[in-house]
Chains A and B, each alone.
Chain A
Amino acid sequence: MSRWICPEVLLVLTGVILILADALIPAGKKGWLPRLAILLSSVLFGITVWQSGQPMPEAWANLFITDGLSSVFKPFFVLCLVGVTLISVRYPMGREETVRAEFLALPFFSTAGLCLLASARDFLAIFVALELVAISLYLLAAFHRTRVASLEAGMKLLVMGGLSTGFLVMGIAWLYAATGSTEFTRIILEQAGRPASAGLLLAIGLILTGLAFKIAAVPFHAWAPDVYEGAPTPITAFLAIASKAAGFVLLLRIFGFGAFALDSVGWIFRPIFLTMGIATVTLGTLAALPQRNLKRYLAYSGIAHAGYMLLALGTLGESGMGTVVGYLWAYLLATFPVFIFVQELERVHGSADVRHLDGLGQRDPGPALGLTLCFLSMAGLPPLLGFSAKLSVFTTLWSAGEIPGLVVGVIMAVVGLGFYLVPIRAMYWEREPDTVPAQRFPSFLVWILLLAGAAQLVLGFQPRPLVRLVERSLAPTVTGIPQEK
């Protein structure tokens, strides 16, 4: 099969098809457009998984590679897309219903950018891909024009995203000035055996700053809670999971596998990573405690998760890299179902306030159970999937001898349980629900949440599939990927 039939190309084509279909179909028959979007995204997920190891087109070889990391993360991003499409279809648009097709199509472009990002081996490619992701997301965050909060979210994301891009571009420029190239392998060759120059360090610092915005790491986290709260929920999910993961993939690519996997630079940045990790975990966890809006709550929880991943990444070893990969998958599997639930909660109750969970354990035992398992998995409680992820972080920190990070991580894991138990308590503890909604949750929600809960349990009890995935991601080339036993 031609190498041009790759996820990135197909994603862009699908986006175009959706927009064209919207323009060409007569107004009365647009009902099946959402179904088409779901179908296409699922098919794309299948294709992406099926040919995740296939090399990219020859003509792109200078800019993109296919390796273990990209083959593990392209399915990740497309899976996010499937989820986002599934809930975008149900997002209440009100008077904006006429632009539903764009709302469905834009994430496809964004995902194409993410997939390119996973494969990028040149800073120019990174920049272009990142902009493809970001610009679609600016639009999407502000998509619900009639809601002030959504506009505010779009504005904040635009300003903050612009700022972070500025740092990134500046960093790339300095990098080019310092090394004469933007391509990973050339930079490595050029820098091998040399001490890092001041210009190179500045460049890396700027690039790191730009990426820290993307993953919402302290001190560049302040935009996240506001944007998450205001943006339409499907987009919040996309921002919280796919966009954050993209930031980490780039960090892995740059500091783990690519340009700066050099001792001379890495060791300088190691304490910075660890300090940032400690600050991010601490702030994310403590700031989540008083939150009463589930979307803000998930924003801070996401910040805390980013902190754990930064701690693992900061050890700059292979186990740290693998930990981040596994952690991101665990994060996806635990967080996405919660976002699906949050959207249904908003549909039924009109807001994502925690108090709407009161008494849910009795009203809807199925969703409550699934949600409980997802929250506990985020808290890192065994025997759920999140435990393996946290365990892996702690193990990495221990073996690297990073005791301060380990101590903070452990303490914050306990505090974290404190805030993950809040919604659980609200669901099961005896408290009268403030208003019993006239609408019930749709039945598909029950199944999705129960399925998600079961996935946490099964993968938590038998983490081998995740371990295989991590091993695969660490393989330098696709040919070196160990096959499933």
Chain B
Amino acid sequence: MNLSLALPLLLVVPLLGVVAIALGSAPRKTALWASWINLIPGFLVSGVVLRQGEVLYGPEVTNLREVFPVQFRLGLDGLSLPLLWLTLVVTVAAIGVARADVKRAKEYFLCLLLVGLGGLGAFLSVDLFYFFSFHEVALIPSFLLIGIWGQGDRTGAAWRMTLYLVLGSLVLLVGLIGLVWAVPETARTLDWRVLTETFRAQPIPATQQTWLAILLLVGFGTLVSLVPFHSWAPGGYASAPAPAAMLHAGVLKKFGIYGLLRLALPLTPLGWKEVSWIVGLMLAGNLLYLGLASLAQRDFRWLLGFSSAMHMGTIFLGLIGGTVLGLGGALVLMVGHGLSAALGFAVAGEVGQRAGTTWMQDLGGLAKKTPKLWFYLMIAGMASIGLPGLANFAGEILIFFGAWSDHPFLVAIAAWGVVLSSVAMLRAIRSIATGPVSSALEAKQTGDLTGIREVWPFALLTALLFLVGLAPNLILGPARPVLERLLQP
């Protein structure tokens, strides 16, 4: 049997789920089934990648010399494998956390599945047309998720996020057009694997590389909420319903970094070096500015939003370090951050549902009333601080080592970032957990997570945080050859 068929299957299964829900089958159950079943093709392709290094699906690359050389091709290698799993797992957890009794459940689960599908497609696509398109598939469902089921200033947040992301995407699109147009006409293709080979043999002129790198940086940077293109992120996540925030902060945001890894680094290496000081400034902004901003937050959701955007700075440090160590660290931290952000937003969502508020001063004494939620809150907080043993620590330490020789100053800033995030998170944990039970909580019948049916999404994310934290080689092993090839001149 040809195992590469499992690649399109990864997209077909959620699509079938979407169709089934649209035709009227029970929304939550169908969505959950679809996302669990999708792990099977996930395992199949992972097996192939671990054995052969990569797996491809689609027609052979041909230079059709067409007006529009688009070909539907999928591929997976050691770099996209962890991200594929991140998407699969976070989708399962997000749908697991989503409640069946939400209003307009049909559309709700449809949108969630579509967001997950967009993430999967983007990480699997080899053709730039589909690479870009799949990311945008998630856009409108996110708009609706925030707008219909969100909280707080949901309308403003939905508009801001959607328009901001579209602006970023279009800048990115221009960058991609520029990349493809830098290829001589006879060899024009949209396949990034071929593009990588072409540009390795025949690099783009240096000045042009700089321009393209800037376009890609601004485009992908907006999607990753790099300062100063970050302002959509905290509010958007704070307003989004928990599963949407999990998928967006956990998965979709990683698309930007993945894109830079895949395209900016190997295709415009000189340009990327040239702009790395800008990236340095921006990531320092993420670490310090957003770090300080997160100190000032009084709402737990907003705190998570800011701290999630802030940690992107550390990942970018890995990207400009120019070492395999740093890139590997960035990859591990992407996964770790995805899991911990998803866990954090899931907990925040549950707390919000049960206590009716996420204002931290109203949540005092949560630990006494809901010890299980409290436990997962601690895990999410500790992971995001970078406690050894959890995935984020492994990523951060690798990044720091990888970037030290070239950017010691930035590493120092990043270390300060860790301090800031620790202060913010520990203060939040203190004010939520300790002390007497607050009057707001006292008045409500706030129940804890009950039984395996409610606990499993949290347990799943926690288990994976520990797994990656204790054995980061699970990610680094298959990714190493790919990352080494990325850095080869």
What's the Cα separation between A341 and B66 when bound, in Å? 36
Whether, in the assembled complex, B442 has its beta carbon less than 8 Å from a beta carbon of chain A, the answer is no
C-alpha spacing A311/B93, complex, angstroms: 46
CB < 8 Å neighbour of A425 from B137, B139, B147, B166: B147
- How many angstroms from the CA of A406 to the CA of B177 in the assembled complex? 11
- B133 an interface residue at 8 Å Cβ cutoff? yes
- Flag if A394 contacts B136 (CB, 8 Å): no
A382 contacts partner chain B, Cβ-Cβ < 8 Å: yes
> What does DSSP make chain A's interface, helix, strand, loop or mixed?
helix
26 contacts between A and B (CB under 8 A): A322-B67, A381-B136, A381-B140, A383-B133, A383-B136, A388-B68, A398-B174, A398-B177, A399-B181, A406-B174, A410-B170, A410-B173, A418-B159, A424-B140, A428-B147, A429-B155, A430-B148, A460-B133, A461-B72, A461-B133, A462-B72, A463-B68, A463-B70, A464-B68, A467-B67, A471-B67
Decide yes or no whether A304 CB sits under 8 A from chain B. no
Identity of the chain A residue whose Cβ is nearest the Cβ of B136 in the assembled complex: A382
Known: A381-B166, A429-B147, A462-B72; 18 extra A-B contacts, CB below 8 A, are A382-B129, A382-B132, A382-B136, A382-B137, A383-B133, A391-B129, A391-B177, A392-B68, A410-B170, A413-B166, A418-B163, A428-B147, A429-B148, A429-B155, A461-B72, A467-B66, A467-B67, A467-B68
Which residues of B (121-171) have their CB < 8 Å from a CB of A? 129-130, 132-134, 136-137, 139-140, 143-144, 147-148, 155, 159, 162-163, 166-167, 170-171
Contact of B67 with A470 in the complex, beta carbons under 8 Å: yes
User: Which residues of the partner chain B approach A411 to less than 8 Å between Cβ atoms?
Assistant: 167
| Residues on A facing B (Cβ under 8 Å) | 319, 322, 361-362, 372, 376, 381-383, 387-388, 391-392, 394-395, 398-399, 406, 410-411, 413-414, 417-418, 421, 424-425, 428-430, 460-464, 467, 470-471
User: Nearest residue in B to A379 (C-beta to C-beta)?
Assistant: B166
Closest Cβ–Cβ distance, residue B426 to chain A (whole Å): 38
For the side of the interface on B, what is the size category?
A: 20 to 34
- A464-B127 Cα distance, complex, nearest whole Å: 15
> How distant is the Cα of A467 from the Cα of B70 in the complex, in angstroms?
10
Q: B107 in the interface, Cβ–Cβ < 8 Å?
A: yes
Q: Contacts A463-B70, A467-B68 given; indicate if A395 touches B177 (C-beta within 8 A).
A: yes
**Whose C-beta in chain A lies nearest to the C-beta of B133?**
A382
| Complex contact B170–A428 (CB within 8 A) | no
Asked if B181 contacts A398 (CB within 8 A), the reply is: yes
Question: Which residue of chain B is the closest to A362 with respect to CB atoms?
Answer: B104
Residues of B within 8 A of A467 (CB): 66-68
Q: A462 CA to B73 CA in the complex, in Å? A: 12
Q: Is B178 an interface residue (CB 8 A)?
A: yes
Neighbouring A residues of B181 by C-beta, 8 Å = 395, 398-399
CB of B173 within 8 A of CB of A376, answer no
Q: Is there contact, CB below 8 Å, between A428 and B139?
A: no
CA A463 – CA B181 in complex, angstroms?
19
Docked complex Cα distance between A399 and B179 (Å): 11
- Residues of A with C-beta under 8 A to B67: 319, 322, 467, 470-471
- State whether A394 touches B173 (Cβ < 8 A): yes
| A192 CB → nearest B CB, Å | 28
Q: Does A428 lie within 8 Å of B70, measured CB to CB? A: no
| Shortest Cβ distance from residue B236 to the other chain A in the assembled complex, whole angstroms | 15
Distance of A387 Cα from B159 Cα, bound (Å): 20
A382 proximity list for chain B (CB < 8 A):
129, 132-133, 136-137
B269 CB, nearest partner CB in chain A, Å: 22
Contact among A381, A394, A417 for B177, CB-based, below 8 A: A394
Contacts of B166 in A (CB 8 A): 381, 413-414, 417
**Nearest Cβ in chain A — how far from B19, in angstroms?**
12
Q: Is the CB of A394 within 8 A of B174?
A: yes
A414 lies within 8 A of B104 (CB): no
**Nearest-Cβ distance from residue A17 to partner chain B, whole angstroms:** 41
Residue of A nearest to B185 (CB): A399
- Could you tell me if A414 and B167 are in contact, using CB atoms closer than 8 angstroms? yes
> Contacts of A417 on B, CB cut-off 8 Å?
162-163, 166
CA distance A410 to B166 in the complex (A): 10
A115 to B188, CA, bound (A): 36
Q: Chain A contacts of B143 at CB under 8 A?
A: 421
Set A322, A381, A392: member contacting B139, Cβ < 8 A: A381
Binary flags per residue of B330-374, CB closer than 8 Å to A gives 1, else 0:
000000000000000000000000000000000000000000000
Most buried by B among A413, A414, A424: A414
CB A163 to nearest CB in B, in angstroms, measures 37
Complex alpha-carbon distance, A470 and B67, angstroms = 9
Cβ contacts under 8 Å, A462 to chain B: 72
The residue from A376, A463, A464 contacting B140, defined by CB atoms under 8 A apart = A376
Report the Cα distance A234→B265, complex, angstroms.
53
Given contacts A410-B174, A462-B72, A467-B68, contact A428 B107 (CB under 8 A): yes
Tell me, in angstroms, the Cα distance from A392 to B143 when the chains sit together: 26
CB distance from A35 to the nearest CB of B (A): 33
* B148 near A428: Cβ-Cβ < 8 Å: yes
Give complex CA distance A262, B137 in Å: 43
Closest-by-CB residue of B relative to A392 is: B68
| A372, A383, A411, A413 interface centre (most CB from chain B within 10 Å) | A383
Q: Which residues of A contact B162 (CB under 8 A)?
A: 417, 421
Query: How distant is the Cα of A392 from the Cα of B66 in the complex, in angstroms?
Result: 13
Per CB-CB distance, the 3 closest pairs between chain A and chain B, nearest first, are: A382-B133, A383-B133, A382-B136
When distances are taken between beta carbons in the complex, the residues of chain A under 8 Å from B159 are: 418, 421
Contacting residues, chain A, for B139 (C-beta < 8 A): 381
- Bound CA–CA A428/B136 (angstroms): 19
Is the CB–CB distance between B170 and A413 below 8 Å?
A: yes
Closest residue of chain B to A415 (Cβ to Cβ) is: B163
Q: What are the residues of chain B within 8 A of A424 when measuring CB–CB?
A: 140
- Most chain B CB neighbours (cut-off 10 Å) among A362, A372, A394: A394
Q: Most chain-A Cβ atoms within 10 A of its Cβ — which of B68, B148, B162, B177?
A: B68
A327 shortest CB reach to chain B, Å? 13
**C-alpha gap A394/B177 in the complex (Å):** 8
Q: Are B178 and A398 touching (Cβ within 8 A)?
A: yes
Report chain A residues within 8 Å CB of B170: 410, 413-414
Shortest beta-carbon distance from B385 to chain A in Å = 37
Give min CB distance, A390 to chain B, whole Å.
9
* Cβ-closest chain B residue relative to A413: B170
| B173: A residues at CB distance < 8 A | 391, 394, 410
A470 and B68 alpha carbons, distance in the complex (Å): 10
For residue A413, which residues in chain B have a CB less than 8 angstroms away from its CB?
A: 166, 170
Contact status of A428 and B144, CB under 8 A, knowing A362-B104, A417-B166, A471-B67: yes
Bound: A391/B162 CA distance, A: 19
Q: Which residues of chain B have C-beta atoms less than 8 A from A410's C-beta? A: 170-171, 173-174
CB neighbours (8 Å) of B167 from chain A are 411, 414
Q: Name the distance in Å between B252's Cβ and chain A's nearest Cβ.
A: 15
Rounded to whole Å, the gap between the CB of A482 and the closest CB of chain B is 11
* A399 surroundings in chain B (CB, below 8 A): 181
**Closest Cβ–Cβ distance, residue A481 to chain B (whole Å):** 15
With contacts A322-B67, A417-B166, A428-B148 known, is A383 near B134, CB below 8 A? Answer: yes
- CA–CA, A428 and B177, complex, Å: 34
Distance (Å) between the CB of B38 and the closest chain A CB?
20
Q: Bits for B54-89, please: 1 = Cβ < 8 Å to A, else 0.
A: 000000000000111010100000000000000000
Query: Bound state CA distance, A429 and B107, in angstroms?
Result: 12
Residues of A within 8 A of B174 (CB): 394, 398, 406, 410
Q: Contact check: which of A383, A392, A418, A470 meets B137 at CB < 8 Å? A: A383
Residue among B139, B163, B170, B171 with max Cβ neighbours from chain A (10 Å): B170
Compute how far the CA of A458 lies from the CA of B171 in the bound complex, rounded to whole angstroms.
25
Chain B residues whose CB sits within 8 angstroms of the CB of A421 once the complex forms: 143, 159, 162
Complexed CA–CA distance, A421 and B136 (Å): 15
In the assembled complex, the CB of A207 is this many whole angstroms from the nearest CB of chain B, namely 29
The residue of chain B having its C-beta at the shortest distance from the C-beta of A467 within the complex is: B68
Measured between alpha carbons, how far is A346 from B298 in the docked complex, in Å? 49
Cα separation A464 to B66 with both chains bound (whole Å)? 10
**C-alpha gap A349/B488 in the complex (Å):** 65
In Å, the complex CA distance between A224 and B301 comes to 48
- Complex Cα–Cα for A78 and B358 (A): 60
